[in-house]
Amino acid sequence: MQDTDLSGRTAIVTGAGAGLGRAEALGLAALGASVVVNDIGPAGEAVAREIEAAGGRAIAVLGDVSDWSLGERLVEAAVENFGSLDIVVNNAGITRDTMLFNMSEKQWDDVIAIHLKGHAALTRAASIHWRAQSKATGAMVYGRVVNTASEAFLLGGAGQANYAAAKAGIVALTLSTSRGMARYGVTANAICPRARTEMTAGVFGEGAADAGLDIMAPERIASLVSYLSTPTAEQVSGQVFIVYGDMVALMAPPTVQRKFTAADGVFSVAELAEQITPYIADELPAGQSYAATSIVALDTTGSAAG
């Protein structure tokens, strides 16, 4: 039988005052985890009360995830109030969509700060705690990191240069965390979710309900986050999942399309032109780039982005 019980575990969920984060916090609490609910405003306190009203344990720690010190405060709150830190769900995010040629420095900085710096700040603080705990006990710890990336990093949305770049960075951070923290017992994975939330209002069209649940409901994402946080997922690490609707897709690693070799050991510009240009022009499908456009075919929800 698979072990999906989180009783006695403690989770931190950022951006948990609404939408995906709220659903993730409630999902973890439903499996028995105590939850540190983070948000920038009082909505986080409301979610903590909601968890407690359902018989769970939760506290709210308000603050901006782009504040480097907040990561440390969240870890301290988990340990001081519930005795441990076991699960980190980095979810907080914003959008400032615009074409790159219209983008302001602030629009770039704000998105990178909340998404990429916010993920890094909490993951760093949690990693310090887990490493120290492992060294003190001489044993592996229980550590789970679930990061929130996006299909935007796979497709490179034309009006989302800041968002796509941040999400690509989050995937790289996830892979580095998985490799660097494996020796201590920590796993790290990234999800690329779609859900109907306040942040995505107007993005998705109306979709069908399946089993009484909106096809784009955030609770569908929360199930995967909860799974990745459980004991049974201990061998799942360094992975990237696309999740929405009724499906979860595990992404394959990038592959080498073609290796070009210099005839005399050193490429000249002319030889590069002779080898690369004809291959891309004649051998690759028209318009193919590094973008993972095949993921578009996954969508059977009837709620395609507008």
The residues annotated as belonging to the active site are: 150, 163, 167
Q: Hey, what are 1's tokens?
A: 């039988």
CA distance 25 to 52: 12
For 23, phi then psi, to 5°, come to -60, -40
Provide the residue type at 128 as one letter.
I
**242: part of which helix (H) or strand (E)?**
strand 240-244
CA distance 144 to 277: 45
N residues, the chain: 306
Pairing of strands 58-62, 87-90: unpaired
Q: Are 43 and 55 in contact (CB under 8 A)?
A: no
**179: part of which helix (H) or strand (E)?**
helix 161-181
Q: Hey, what are 78's tokens?
A: 């988990």
For 98, phi then psi, to 5°, come to -170, 160
Half-sphere exposure of 219 (CA within 13 A, CB side): 11
Helical packing angle, 161-181 and 105-112, nearest 10°:
30
**294: part of which helix (H) or strand (E)?**
none
Half-sphere exposure of 147 (CA within 13 A, CB side): 34
In terms of phi and psi (left: phi > 0; alpha: psi -120 to 50; beta: otherwise), the region of 265 is left
CA distance 156 to 154: 6
